[in-house]
């Protein structure tokens, strides 16, 4: 990830340096909804989204986050915080007070010893730099918004993925002959973009995960490539919503259609057409059901219903003649429609 060691990734995601992975994921999704290229075409927002995605990939990966924290100074702060919490424990305090070095406080010595142990570079047989053990590539997760229609019928999308991989020039070591690697500039890894076509299956809902095999980061030494996971968000729709196999529809009608009744042809999100018969004297909020005209189950053995929620809606503009007719209606109307309300005490 080019120059990410020089960036404050926590500031980019607007989280504390000791934020949990779950907290980072929640904040990442909030930012994606603001800066995703599907939402904003502004060039600065697109650049901001790339930074957000890069920061997310680093901070949700245990090994990469540790490397970043070590270089950026956050890891030492985390260790100090852990010891400060433990120091409040009386038993630990007594143990620390028995440290042999009188010239150095037991608390400070314990912190320094722990940090020395954590940061001492030890040569191990399974060190990634010194053997050919297969290492599987990391998985990548990307949030993807789809329309309600796309969630029902399925769709194909072209998406851009930001991959990371060990630098092929230095093998991830960052240095060559004591100097920063010229290809990765001492970061040990490089980034590259890849555009792929992905298929979104029918029936996805908000929170669905679509797995695209072997489109994550590359494996090393013969290890398997990681997978790509698309985290689906179905965009809000003011008129239609899905509940399992049922389609809910908020259907606006005029006041006179509510009084005299009518027949309305509607196009459902799955492309089907339906006829809704509005009976006379229909009230706003009244529910009508079109049995077995909803969505099919995957095995085609069941089909949901269409639930119509009637909403009486006034026109945005009324002519003078229309206003006069409404005025006449108000003058001759005799029923108190709020009688039940007034008596509800």
Going from N- to C-terminal start, the domains of the chain cover 126-236, 240-333
CA 244 and chain centroid, separation: 21
CA separation for the pair 39, 37 (Å, rounded): 5
CA separation for the pair 311, 285 (Å, rounded): 6
Cβ neighbours, 10 Å, residue 316 = 5
Q: What pLDDT, on a 0 to 100 scale, did the predictor assign at position 296? A: 83
252 sits in which H/E element = strand 246-253
Cα dihedral 220, 218, 2, 119 sign: negative
Domain 240-333 has CATH 2.40.180.10: no
CA separation for the pair 335, 30 (Å, rounded): 50
Cβ neighbours, 10 Å, residue 105 = 13
Q: What is the pLDDT along the chain (345 residues), one digit of tens a residue?
A: 445 656 788 888 888 888 888 889 888 888 887 887 777 777 777 788 888 888 888 888 888 888 887 777 776 666 666 655 555 555 555 555 555 555 555 555 555 555 555 444 444 434 444 456 888 888 999 999 998 888 888 899 999 888 888 888 887 888 887 788 888 888 888 888 888 999 999 888 888 999 999 998 888 888 889 999 999 998 888 888 888 888 899 999 999 999 999 999 998 887 788 899 999 999 999 999 999 988 888 788 998 899 999 999 988 889 999 999 989 988 898 888 888 877 776
Q: What pLDDT, on a 0 to 100 scale, did the predictor assign at position 121? A: 41
Cβ neighbours, 10 Å, residue 255 = 14
Q: What pLDDT, on a 0 to 100 scale, did the predictor assign at position 123? A: 40
Q: Which residues pair with 266 in a beta bridge?
A: 274
CA separation for the pair 34, 4 (Å, rounded): 22
**Paired tokens of 197:** 């076509």
Q: What pLDDT, on a 0 to 100 scale, did the predictor assign at position 111? A: 54
Whether 126-236 shares its CATH topology with 240-333 is answered yes
Q: What pLDDT, on a 0 to 100 scale, did the predictor assign at position 252? A: 95
**What one-character-per-residue DSSP string does 126-158 give?**
T-TTTS---BPPPPEEEEEEE-HHHHHH-EEEE
CA separation for the pair 84, 101 (Å, rounded): 20
Q: What pLDDT, on a 0 to 100 scale, did the predictor assign at position 112? A: 55
CA separation for the pair 212, 220 (Å, rounded): 19
**Paired tokens of 58:** 């680093």
CA separation for the pair 202, 196 (Å, rounded): 19
Residues 135/216, Cβ–Cβ less than 8 Å: no
Residues 136/223, Cβ–Cβ less than 8 Å: yes
Q: What pLDDT, on a 0 to 100 scale, did the predictor assign at position 128? A: 47
Crossing angle for the helix pair 74-87 and 62-72, to the nearest 10 degrees: 90
Residue 20: CA count within 13 A, CB half-sphere: 3
The SS3 assignment for 86 reads helix
Q: What pLDDT, on a 0 to 100 scale, did the predictor assign at position 286? A: 95
CA separation for the pair 97, 31 (Å, rounded): 47
CA separation for the pair 234, 321 (Å, rounded): 43
CATH fold label, 126-236: HSP40/DNAj peptide-binding domain (2.60.260)
Q: What pLDDT, on a 0 to 100 scale, did the predictor assign at position 129? A: 45
DSSP symbol at 217:
S
Cβ neighbours, 10 Å, residue 271 = 9
Q: What pLDDT, on a 0 to 100 scale, did the predictor assign at position 160? A: 87
Q: Report the relative pairing of strands 306-312 and 246-253 from DSSP bridges.
A: parallel
Cβ neighbours, 10 Å, residue 150 = 19
CA separation for the pair 102, 233 (Å, rounded): 59
**Paired tokens of 102:** 């009188």
């Amino acid at each position: 990830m080019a120059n990410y060691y020089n960036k404050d990734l926590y500031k980019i995601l607007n989280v504390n340096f000791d934020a949990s992975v779950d907290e980072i994921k929640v904040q990442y999704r909030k930012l994606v909804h603001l800066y995703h290229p599907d939402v904003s075409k502004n060039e600065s927002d697109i650049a901001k989204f790339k930074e957000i995605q890069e920061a997310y990939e680093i901070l949700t990966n245990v090994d990469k986050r540790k490397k970043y924290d070590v270089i950026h100074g956050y890891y030492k702060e985390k260790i100090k915080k852990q010891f400060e919490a433990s120091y409040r424990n009386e038993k630990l305090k007594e143990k620390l007070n028995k440290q042999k070095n009188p010239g150095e406080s037991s608390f400070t010595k314990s912190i320094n010893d722990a940090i020395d142990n954590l940061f001492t570079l030890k040569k191990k047989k399974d060190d990634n730099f010194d053997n050919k053990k297969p290492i599987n590539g990391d998985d990548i997760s990307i949030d993807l918004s789809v329309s309600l229609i796309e969630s029902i019928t399925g769709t194909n999308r072209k998406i851009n993925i930001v991959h990371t991989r060990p630098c092929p020039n230095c093998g991830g070591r960052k240095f060559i002959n004591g100097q920063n690697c010229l290809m990765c500039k001492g970061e040990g890894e490089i980034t590259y973009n890849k555009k792929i076509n992905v298929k979104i299956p029918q029936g996805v809902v908000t929170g669905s995960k679509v797995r695209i095999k072997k489109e994550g980061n590359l494996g090393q030494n013969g290890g398997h490539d990681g997978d790509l996971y698309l985290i689906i968000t179905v965009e809000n729709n003011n008129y239609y919503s899905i509940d399992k196999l049922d389609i809910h529809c908020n259907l606006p009608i005029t006041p006179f259609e509510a009084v005299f009744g009518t027949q309305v042809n509607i196009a459902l999100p799955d492309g089907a057409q339906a006829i809704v018969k509005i009976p006379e004297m229909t009230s706003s909020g009244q529910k009508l059901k079109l049995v077995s005209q909803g969505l099919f189950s995957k095995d085609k053995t069941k089909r949901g219903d269409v639930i119509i929620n009637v909403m009486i809606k006034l026109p945005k503009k009324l002519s003078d003649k229309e206003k006069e007719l409404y005025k006449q209606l108000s003058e001759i109307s005799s029923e108190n429609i709020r009688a039940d309300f007034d008596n509800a005490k």
